[in-house]
Amino acid sequence: MLSNNILAAASVEPADLIDDLRAVEHWSERIDVERLDAAFRAWSYNSRRAFRSDLAIWLRWCRANRVDPARAGASDVARWVRSLVVGEDREGRPRAAATIKRYIVHVGRAYRLLRLVDPTDDELVAYELKAARKKVGSKQRQALGLRFKGDVVDLDGPEAALSLKTLLKACRRGSYGRLDALALRNIAMLRVAYDTGLRRSELVRVEVAHIEGPDSDGAGRLFIPFSKTDQEGEGDYAFLSPATMSALKDWLSEGRLKTGPVFCQIKTHFDGSIAMICKNALHPNSVGEIYKRLVRTAHERGLLGQMGEVELERVVKSISSHSIRVGVAQDNFAAEESLGAIMQAYRWKDPRTVLRYGEKLAVRGGASARMAKRFAQ
């Protein structure tokens, strides 16, 4: 009924997504190439990638349970939701409520694009989603924030062991702490990520031509042609500090980069020495891996204090490509910046997201914390 290689093409170009849908039995006759091509071209790259990934999970479940996708009903989708809650699928892990909701959105979108009856648009599915939220909770796991000085109350005081400053120190390679091409690239990337709050897909798309400055104070600005919240490509600007501009200058000079992507892939020899600075940009997935690797390097060099192996693994697991963006929000809250100013500076559209990042700081500085401090004296 279904191909063994469900939605497995390497590209998410519109033509490839159309071919993917055409390969599903009983769907091919519903293909309106012009309609699908226009829809997929209107989506961002990440939207197309998530669409393929989520739809593939549904189609694999259909194959495993002998369900014809073209004839699937609300009861089939409800069974699928229940299986995701308990992890009864190929991946074998329970999904978060928000993840399941995203799956449902993309699966429903596929049926509507094909002008088929949408099996996700039913009260039964809505009830199952509500039951899923009650069972697994609706709170999303938040990436550990990488703040500039770490998890500190006083921004003018000493830094904590785990901080962006610590990772900048960990970039230095070798016994003499030299700054080779890999170190210079990573330092520049960490600083740009912190100044701008760019998401991983936006960070790897930064090009040399997007950097403006420095001005008389040594600062600059970054032109952001596209972002998650600017799919129309109107463009936006972000501030680059003098320290960041200096780091960019050092890296661009070392890499002899005058055009194209700023954060390029670097190939190394078996001993860690630089083999080649490539012209192609880092893959978005590399960003989080670089952060994790720097945390491990910092631990190996004794920069994380008395942190044990168990705590190290917990920290590494909590780090993601979003960690610096979370940390930027937390530092702004600690500096008592207004919600509106934070949203404007870092291009947030939903205030709930920003407030969620500041929850932990709010607990420590809230009424109960102030009261406890008063009676402790």
pLDDT for position 344: 85
Residue 310, judged by CB atoms within 10 A of its CB (0-12, 13-18, 19+), counts as: exposed
Q: Average pLDDT for residues 256-277, to the nearest whole number?
A: 90
pLDDT at 3: 45
Q: Which residue has better confidence, 91 or 103?
A: 103
In the block, residue with structure tokens 């390969």: 23
Q: Of 262, 213, 219, which is closest to residue 243 (Cα–Cα)? A: 219
Residue bearing the bigger pLDDT, 52 or 136: 52
Q: Taking residues 178-200, what's their average pLDDT? A: 93
285: Cα separation from own chain's centroid: 8
Q: Which residues pair with 264 in a beta bridge?
A: 281
pLDDT greater at residue 44 or residue 66: 66
pLDDT digits (tens, 9 = 90+) for 289-327: 999 999 999 999 999 988 999 999 999 999 999 999 999
Q: Is the pLDDT of residue 54 over 70?
A: yes
Q: At residue 56, does pLDDT exceed 80?
A: yes
Q: In terms of pLDDT, which residue wins out, 242 or 47?
A: 242
Which DSSP helix (H) or strand (E) runs through 232? none
pTM: 0.72
Residue 283 has pLDDT above 80, yes or no: yes
Residue 369 has pLDDT above 90, yes or no: no
Give the C-alpha separation, 329 to 336, whole Å. 11
Phi first, then psi, for residue 220 (nearest 5°) are: -145, -170
Q: Within 13 A of 186's CA, how many CA atoms are on the CB side? A: 27
Q: Per this entry, what is the length of the chain?
A: 377
Return the higher-pLDDT residue of 138 and 240.
Answer: 240
Buried b / exposed e across 256-271, counting CB within 10 Å, b at 16+? ebeeebbbbbbeeeee
Confidence class for position 90, pLDDT limits 50, 70, 90: low
pLDDT band at 125 (very low <50, low <70, confident <90, very high): very high
